[in-house]
Amino acid sequence: MPRSLLTLPLTLALAASAVGAQDVPAPAPQDQAAAPAPAAGQQPGAAPANGQEGLVVDVEGGISAPMPIAIPAMPTSAVVQTPAGTTDVVGQKLSEIIANDLRNSGLFTPVPPAQLRTVSFPEVTAPAFDYWNGTGAQALVQGYVRANGDGTLTVGCYLYDVLARSELARQGFVVSPSDWRRAAHKCADTIYTKLTGEGPYFDSRITYVSETGPKAHRIKRLAIMDQDGANHRFLTNGQSIVLTPRFAPNQQSIVYMSYIDKRPAIYVYDIGTGRQRLVVQNAATTFAPRFSPDGRWILFSMAQAGNTDIYRVSSQGGSPQRLTNSPGIDTGGSYSPDGSKIVFESDRSGGQQIYVMNADGSNQQRISFGGGRYATPVWSPRGDLIAFTKLGGAFRIGIMSPSGGGEKLLTNSWQDEGPSWSPNGRVITFQRSTQGASGKADVWMVDLTGVNERRIPTPLDGSDPAWGPLRQ
Amino acid sequence: MTKIKTTLVVATMAIAMAGCAKKRPEVLPPAPVSQGTGVDPNAGANTNPDGAIVPGSDADFKRSVTSNTIHFGLDQYDIDPESRAILDSQAQWLARYPNVRITIEGHCDERGTREYNLALGDRRANAAKNYLAARGVSPERMNVISYGKERPIALGSDEASYAQNRRAVTIVLS
């Protein structure tokens, strides 16, 4: 009896699932067939329409009142051994990953483990609201894990308003065991999106340069990891210096700079095959690469005879087109999300400043006018802001509007450099270096409030982080 | 069939990475001789079996010229009088060995951003190259490479260290 009661909503949850199916090597067609709902990833499916006026997280302040949220371990319908571990252990870990994601956003305070109660399987859809109210939690995340016959896992994710005793959102995700963490990130994204109104970003990856060894001869390796530091993988072995990796929009490749054969140039690395190819043949030094939002172009800089200008080339290769033609150093190009404009830095006025131009190189306009120098501009995926490195003694990460107004510095350390945006344009990853002979770099994050700042755990030191798009 | 192949390549990669010693097939370049620290990349080619320095080698170059390195001001790439004298001595040596090729490395201190410093290092290496060319060294004999701030020789975060790191280094290729 209770079992059949539970079955109905769970089926609904599955039907509403976004499922991350495309990326899951498992039998995707089947899942898609079972999910007639349109791209549900952005919109938590069966949530009541009253979600708006209920719980809302203040993303502007972000400091004063992180929302207390309870995320108990997810029960399983049956304890089954899977490649990801037994389903009950997976359920415990999923809740921890969700709590970690939400805590790291700076907008939520997960209820401490000691105050979490054990949730039975039937209780997933019938929360003990009185208990959770007593913990101070305003929101409650419950869910379940189920091993499917085909080797996949189904993870259900439910968000409740504790005071209103109502359900706010539900999602179901079918993942292969090797992708089990993604179900937690998708669930966290569902909750984050519902409660903040911001776009999702937890189910995403970061590519960066892993560093080790003495400062005069750092060993640098291309690496990739989930945004929380999990699933870390080295992609190159450190024989050549590698710099400035950036994801392709389809996330199947990374464009970066390498000193292979002592010939500094940009390469595209195919993540699936591990192969790489030189982008511009027979060229002088090429660097500072970045894909266009549609993936058709690679923007890059080329230094020839002491002069550096910005070019674009088809991501398939071919002849580059020159976009800037100043006698100074023009570099660091980044497209606006609609691909119509490019923000870049140039020292044509005497020191590094930020400029915006049309995608064809026309109408170059300086937008930065504050004291000091400005470098490494990157356009927010939301389009509303430019992040940059401000140089004036220290290096600091800052933001300004695309017209140059509203400058705000987000970090204050010795040397913070090279911002890169989260998929939702609310968080920035960057590298933070320390000084001196033992100085090293690490990967950090800061949000737009400038308050929520933290280091991303990496096996070694790290530099040049670049955030990839949201995974599909 | 293609799919199986791909899987195999990935699996091989994973093993190679786990071993941390083996080179991955088809993925990575041959091991470079050196990462260009400006410190004796041609060791071995510089001396005879009896230990004598080979005329025309990088070791010969370094003991014969005033210096293999010139320095620059902060965010500058102009050749000052001291650097001119150094490059003059390099040009004289290069005139004696007209078949020798050189690489000029451009380097920066850590107070610039990474990409800008790659461009600045290129400016510095080219400034040295242009000066040597004006002193009669054929441009065809000279390669330039910028290391930006990737290969400092002085490790401190102080002006004395920065001054040493803002440099162009001439290296004779064996």
Q: DSSP states of A142-156 as a string?
A: EEEEEE-TTS-EEEE
Mean pLDDT, residues A66-94:
96
CB pairs under 8 A between A and B: 141
Q: Is there a single domain that holds both residue B53 and residue B26?
A: no
- Chain B nearest-CA distance from A439, in A, is 9
Pick the more confident residue, A18 or B169. B169
For position A60, what pLDDT does the model report? 63
The answer to whether the Cα torsion of B18, B23, B26, B28 is positive or negative is positive
pLDDT at A41 over 90: no
- Given CB atoms, is B135 within the 8 Å cutoff of chain A? no
Q: Is there a single domain that holds both residue B85 and residue B56?
A: yes
For position B161, what pLDDT does the model report? 97
d(CA B95, CA A396): 48
Which range (A424-438, A446-460, B42-56) has the least confidence? Answer: B42-56
CB contact under 8 A, A237 and B28: yes
pLDDT at A50 over 50: no
Structure tokens at B170: 């001439």
Q: Is there a single domain that holds both residue B120 and residue B75?
A: yes
CB contact under 8 A, A436 and B157: yes
A202-220 tens-digit pLDDT: 999 999 999 999 999 999 9
Contact residues, chain A, for B111 at CB < 8 Å: 391
- Measured in degrees and rounded to the nearest 5, phi and psi for residue B164 equal -70, -30
Q: Is there a single domain that holds both residue B6 and residue B78?
A: no
CB contact under 8 A, B152 and A243: no
d(CA A469, CA A381): 9
* Number of structural domains found in chain B: 2
Mean pLDDT, residues A175-183:
95
User: Taking all residues of chain B, what is their mean pLDDT, rounded to a whole number?
Assistant: 82
For position A64, what pLDDT does the model report? 59
Q: Is there a single domain that holds both residue B105 and residue B21?
A: no
pLDDT at B34 over 80: no
A85-101 tens-digit pLDDT: 999 999 999 999 999 99
Pick the more confident residue, A249 or B30. A249
For position B22, what pLDDT does the model report? 36
For position A65, what pLDDT does the model report? 82
Contact residues, chain B, for A305 at CB < 8 Å: 126
- Given CB atoms, is B126 within the 8 Å cutoff of chain A? yes
Reduced to 3 states (helix: H, G, I; strand: E, B; else coil), residue A36 is coil
Contact residues, chain B, for A286 at CB < 8 Å: none
| Per-residue confidence band for A58, with pLDDT thresholds at 50, 70 and 90 | low
B122-160 tens-digit pLDDT: 999 999 999 999 999 999 999 999 999 999 999 999 999
Helices B114-134 and B81-96 pack at an angle, to 10 degrees, of 60
Give the mutation candidate from B118, B131, B171 for the A interface (greatest A CB count, under 10 A).
B118
For position B48, what pLDDT does the model report? 80
Contact residues, chain A, for B151 at CB < 8 Å: 216-217
CB contact under 8 A, B27 and A308: no
Q: Contact at 8 Å (CB) between B155 and B149?
A: no
Q: Is there a single domain that holds both residue B54 and residue B127?
A: yes
pLDDT at A26 over 50: no
CB contact under 8 A, A233 and B17: yes
Q: Is there a single domain that holds both residue B86 and residue B23?
A: no
Reference B117, options A289, A223, A335, A352; nearest CA is A352
Where do you find CATH 2.120.10.30 in chain A? 204-470
Q: Is there a single domain that holds both residue B24 and residue B102?
A: no
The residue range of the domain holding B1 is 1-31
In terms of CATH, what superfamily is A204-470? TolB, C-terminal domain (2.120.10.30)
- What is the helix (H) or strand (E) element at residue A88, kind and residue range? helix A87-104
- Given CB atoms, is B101 within the 8 Å cutoff of chain A? no
The answer to whether the Cα torsion of A395, A401, A404, A408 is positive or negative is negative
Reference A170, options A47, A5, A11, A52; nearest CA is A47
- Chain B nearest-CA distance from A228, in A, is 22
Mean pLDDT, residues A334-352:
97
Mean pLDDT, residues A365-370:
96
In terms of CATH, what superfamily is A2-196? TolB, N-terminal domain (3.40.50.10070)
Q: Is there a single domain that holds both residue B7 and residue B66?
A: no
Q: Is there a single domain that holds both residue B58 and residue B88?
A: yes
Closest residue of chain B to A373, computed from CA coordinates: B112
Portion of chain A with pLDDT greater than 70, in percent = 87
Contact residues, chain A, for B152 at CB < 8 Å: 215-216
pLDDT at A23 over 60: no
Closest residue of chain A to B20, computed from CA coordinates: A237
User: Taking all residues of chain A, what is their mean pLDDT, rounded to a whole number?
Assistant: 88
| List of E strands, A337-460 | 341-346, 353-358, 365-366, 373-379, 386-392, 394-400, 408-409, 415-421, 427-433, 441-447, 453-455
Q: Is there a single domain that holds both residue B27 and residue B96?
A: no
| Per-residue confidence band for A440, with pLDDT thresholds at 50, 70 and 90 | very high
Where do you find CATH 3.40.50.10070 in chain A? 2-196
Asked casually if ipTM beats, i.e. exceeds, 0.90, the reply is no
Q: Is there a single domain that holds both residue B10 and residue B63?
A: no
**Shortest CB distance from A329 goes to which of B16, B20, B116?**
B116
